[in-house]
């Protein structure tokens, strides 16, 4: 019902920067009234998917300890978008990054659910 479109992944050398963007939209018709939380997760080969950063509609944020001070999440509630600015990238940041939207509603009384983007590859070389 809701599609998350990600952009901004790529290849960068250690110490470099990348910016990921994600936009949520209804697939067929209708609008999104609200999204409780939007954020980013990542999954490296052979590892479980892990939280990178999330932000609620009220502006509260949560970051993985490994990215604190290097990554910054931002969100536009009106546009249903979330960005992740990644600075001082390290080889261990290499992973597929997934956008996540939690608690999507088409109206105050109609929940649509939680949704994931298809993922975008981030590769950091040493």
47 by DSSP, 3-state: which?
A: coil
Q: What is the pLDDT of residue 15?
A: 98
Q: What is the pLDDT of residue 90?
A: 98
Side-chain-facing half-sphere of 114: CA atoms under 13 Å? 8
Mean pLDDT of the chain: 95
Task: Give me the helices (H) in 47-109, please.
Answer: none
Strands 10-13 and 120-125 turn out to be: parallel
In the chain, the percentage of residues whose pLDDT exceeds 90 is 87
* Position 29 confidence tier, pLDDT thresholds 50, 70, 90: confident
What burial letters (b/e) apply to 91-121, b meaning 16+ CB within 10 Å?
A: eebbbbbbbbbeebebeeeeebeebebebbe
What is the side-by-side order of every strand in the sheet holding 81-86?
A: 2-7, 18-26, 81-86, 71-76
66 by DSSP, 3-state: which?
A: helix
Using the predicted structure, report yes or no on whether residue 28 has a pLDDT greater than 80.
Answer: no
- Residues 10-19 have a mean pLDDT of 98
Q: What is the pLDDT of residue 119?
A: 97
Model confidence pLDDT, tens digit, residues 57-78: 999 999 999 999 999 999 999 9
For residue 114, is it left (φ>0), alpha (ψ between -120 and 50) or beta? beta
Using the predicted structure, report yes or no on whether residue 32 has a pLDDT greater than 90.
Answer: no
């Amino acid at each position: 019902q809701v599609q998350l479109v990600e952009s901004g992944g790529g290849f960068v050398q250690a110490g470099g920067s990348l910016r990921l963007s994600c936009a949520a939209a209804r697939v067929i018709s209708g609008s999104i009234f609200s999204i409780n939380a939007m954020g980013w997760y990542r999954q490296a080969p052979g590892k479980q998917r892990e939280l990178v950063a999330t932000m609620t509609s009220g502006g509260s944020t949560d970051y993985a300890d490994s990215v604190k001070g290097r990554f910054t999440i931002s969100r536009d509630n009106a546009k249903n978008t979330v960005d992740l600015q990644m600075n001082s990238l390290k080889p261990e940041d290499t992973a597929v990054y997934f956008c996540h939207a939690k608690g999507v509603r088409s109206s105050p009384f109609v929940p649509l659910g939680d949704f994931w983007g298809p993922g975008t590859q981030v590769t950091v070389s040493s």
